[in-house]
A and B are shown apart, each in its own frame.
Chain A
């Protein structure tokens, strides 16, 4: 059963992996993806993530369940933070575990593509000049089409 969390606090990647793996020996591949707050030109002071409590959890669970239905995963974990974060801080963690690497890689890729277009989060970037909402990228929408077949 895929496990998801929506939280203000940071996450501990190693701790999450260890908790999922525990004493299991049937896992041959562990993939993690971590998304962090990016500041390419040094202008960002902070980023605030707003979300829709209730729907966020439902959407993340639905996406994680879909990943488990499509690939033979031993474990699947998604953590997404909200609130005000500084450049470099963690935003999102996806962990997939499988007997073989292809399933783990593909499921993690799928999870990120789908949560970026479905999970109700909105980023606002604060700089010295003010605050602006981040626009959705058309490329994120196009990325979904890879998984439709």
Chain B
């Protein structure tokens, strides 16, 4: 099971901060995972409606949507960061 984490308004729109998720067969990169998540309900669809505003980390490192994922990964979705 992959561990999915959501932060900021991505978390608010989806309605949870984390979940375990069984990656379906054929889902091998972040882009494919986002497509699957979008279909789950309106909250996910709203969270992922504009991918230019979504940033991704796999294994706590910044990655792009073409990054390969597996069932043991920690995968986080969040808006562009605003610290400092």
Q: Which of A58, A80, A134 contacts B82 (CB 8 A)?
A: A134
Q: Is the CB–CB distance between A136 and B83 below 8 Å? A: no
Q: Which residue of B lies closest to A141 (CB)?
A: B80
B83 near A52: Cβ-Cβ < 8 Å: no
Instruction: Kindly identify, within residues 122 to 139 of chain A, every residue whose CB is under 8 Å from any CB belonging to chain B.
Output: 122-124, 133-136
Instruction: Look across to chain B and name the residue whose beta carbon is closest to the beta carbon of A92.
Output: B84
CB-CB under 8 A for A121 and B84, given A50-B7, A52-B7: yes
Please give the number of chain A residues whose Cβ is less than 8 angstroms from any Cβ of chain B in the complex: 27
A118 within 8 A of B: yes
Q: Are B84 and A115 in contact (CB under 8 A)?
A: yes
Which of A55, A115, A123, A135 is close to B57, meaning CB atoms less than 8 Å apart? A55
Distance from B47 Cβ to chain A, minimum over Cβ atoms (Å)? 13
Q: How many A-B residue pairs have CB under 8 A?
A: 69
Cα distance A131–B38 when bound, in Å? 26
Q: Which residue of B lies closest to A119 (CB)?
A: B83
Quick one: which of A54, A122, A124, A133 contacts B83, CB cutoff 8 A?
A122
Nearest CB of B to A119, in Å: 5
| Whole-angstrom CA separation of A134 from B83 in the bound complex | 10
Chain B CB within 10 Å, residue with most, of A52, A115, A124: A52
Chain B contacts of A58 at CB under 8 A? 60-61
Q: How far is the CB of A70 from chain B (nearest CB, A)?
A: 19
B27 shortest CB reach to chain A, Å: 22
Task: Determine the chain B residues whose CB is within 8 A of the CB of A120 once the complex forms.
Answer: 7, 57, 76, 78, 81, 83
B8 in contact (CB, < 8 A):
yes
Interface centre among A50, A55, A117, A134 (most CB of B within 10 A): A55
* Cβ A122 vs Cβ B60 within 8 A: no
Q: Does A99 contact B (CB under 8 A)?
A: no
* B40 close to A (CB within 8 Å): no
Closest 6 CB pairs of A and B: A121-B83, A136-B80, A116-B84, A122-B8, A55-B60, A134-B82
Could you jot down 5 A-B contacts, CB within 8 Å? A52-B60, A121-B83, A133-B8, A136-B79, A136-B81
